[in-house]
Homo-oligomer: A and B are copies of this chain.
Amino acid sequence: MYVSVIGGDDSTSSEKDLERAERIGKNIAELGHVLVCGGRGGVMKAACKGAKEEDGTTIGILPSYDKEEANEYVDHPIATGLGMARNSLVVMNGDVVVAIDGSHGTLSEICFAQKYGKRILGLDTWDIDVVENFTGIADLVEELKKIEDPSG
Interface residues, chain A, with chain B CB atoms under 8 Å away: 34, 57, 59, 61, 65, 67, 76, 78-85, 88-89, 92-93, 104-105, 107-108, 110-112, 114-116, 128, 130
Contacts and interface: CB of A to CB of B under 8 A. Distances in A.
A93 B79 contact: yes
Contacts of A114: 104
Number of identical monomers bound together in the oligomeric complex: 4
Contacts of A88: 81, 83-85
A85 B83 contact: no
A81 B92 contact: yes
A34 B65 contact: no
Contacts of A57: 76
Nearest to A66: B92
